[in-house]
Amino acid sequence: MLNKIKELRQELESATAAALDDVEALRLRFISKKGQLSQLFEEFKTVSPEQKRAVGQAINELKTFALEKINLLRESFENRGEQDVHSDLTRPSEPLRLGARHPLSIVRNEIIDIFGHIGFNVAEGPEIEDDWHVFSALNFPPEHPARDMQDTFFIQRSPDVLLRTHTSSVQVRVMEKTPPPIRSIFPGRVYRNEAISARAHCLFHQVEGLLIDENVSFADLKQVLLYFSRELFGEKSEIRLRPSYFPFTEPSAEMDVSCSICGGKGCNICKGTGWLEILGCGMVDPNVLTFCGIDPKKYTGYAFGMGIERIAMLKFGISDIRLFFENDVRFLRQFSGVA
């Protein structure tokens, strides 16, 4: 029996494997329930008492050697697999970085969520528009000086085809097709022929809002804007409304929010006033309702509009609007931890 054990050990010593299947076959041959070691333990019962010590020790040594041999062959294949991964010449030389949402997308989505919680749906429209939807339907007469408030990009030298200067054009389209009540916000890109600087750009993003229903008042507008400012800038945020002028609203106002950086005490960002201007608003002018086929004697409404860049600059402490459009990855990576 000792000779048989010696032969099995020599067989194990010379064993090789070209694949994991060969290792599994070797395991089944030697250490499975019906393998050679199990047969040796069965034969061990018939060994004479004088030989039991030597034979038992030889069987245990063979079992230990078989386990070590099989594990060694299996590990060689696992290590070879890891080496194959690391030697893959198509893999990037550096770990891949996860991307981040653009800060304008972060603020846009946050604004949409805030108004979505109080029932505003989202509506979008074309960026290439006509004079009616951008100006005339919004109470801009052909020669009205208010048209000079917005420097316009006209297309193909046509006075009637232009890039929209505000997303109010979508408000007109919604009012023309949707009977009241209307409760919508309108995010999108707008274009104005302005010199590019740290504070202005020829394209930027807006979110406007519109609510039309029976018995809507300016007090309703104020409460909605107060709710919005506290959701966006914090519970301690306060607002103030200053009289202003827009052709499509009457009365009109500019809304300031208390500076979240200095807490209203005055700093460089708010120019020492403690307030930051963030949006314009007002009650929808009855002429606009009439142009869009809505009875101004039955319905009233309010509208508001804000620049997303302006909000993002205040929220993240960004001093130059051009950073939003330069695609500098060093700037964009700062927002990788922001939802």
Domain limits of the chain? 2-86, 103-335
**Strand 121-122's sheet: what is its strand order?**
121-122, 182-191, 203-213, 300-307, 275-284, 249-258, 239-246
**pLDDT tens digits along 280-306:** 999 999 999 999 999 999 999 999 999
Whether the CB-CB separation of 282 and 222 falls below 8 Å is answered with no
Is the Cβ–Cβ distance between 303 and 285 less than 8 Å?
A: no
Q: Distance between CA atoms of 6 and 208, rounded to whole angstroms? A: 89
Residues in contact with 121: Cβ distance below 8 Å, sequence separation at least 6, in sequence order: 183, 184, 185
Alpha-carbon gap, residue 261 to 278, rounded angstroms: 14
Cα separation, 2 vs 7, in Å, equals 9
pLDDT higher than threshold 60 for residue 8: yes
Residue written as tokens 């330069």? Answer: 326
- pTM strictly above 0.75: no
DSSP E strand boundaries for 165-202: 182-191
> For 59-113, how does the pLDDT look when each residue is reduced to its tens digit (9 = 90+)?
788 788 888 888 888 887 766 655 554 556 676 667 677 778 899 999 999 999 9
Q: Please count the CA atoms within 13 angstroms of the CA of 240 that sit on its side-chain side.
A: 10
- pLDDT by residue (tens digit) across 21-64? 888 888 888 778 778 878 877 777 787 877 878 877 887 887 88
- Rounded to whole angstroms, the Cα distance separating 138 from 218 reads 19
- Using alpha carbons, select from 159, 154, 125 the residue that is nearest to residue 143: 159
Q: Please give the structure tokens belonging to residue 202.
A: 């020829």
DSSP letter at 98?
Answer: P
Of 44-48, 92-96, 214-218, 225-229, give the lowest mean pLDDT range. 92-96
The average pLDDT across 319-338 equals 84
71, 198, 73, 175: which is closest to 125 by C-alpha?
Answer: 175
Picking from 185, 179, 192, 181, the residue whose alpha carbon sits closest to that of residue 134 is 192
pLDDT of residue 260: 72
244 backbone dihedrals φ, ψ, rounded to 5°: -150, -170
The backbone torsions φ and ψ at residue 32, rounded to the nearest 5 degrees and listed phi first, read -80, 175
CA distance 186 to 150: 19
Give me the percent of the chain exceeding a pLDDT of 70: 90
**The predicted structure's pLDDT at residue 339:** 57
Cα dihedral 270, 224, 127, 164 in deg (nearest 10): -60
4 closest CA partner among 50, 47, 68, 49? 47
**Cα separation, 245 vs 221, whole angstroms:** 16
CATH of domain 103-335: 3.30.930.10
Cα 120 from chain centroid (whole Å): 21
Q: What is the pLDDT of residue 47?
A: 76
Name the band, by pLDDT with cuts 50, 70 and 90, for residue 119.
very high
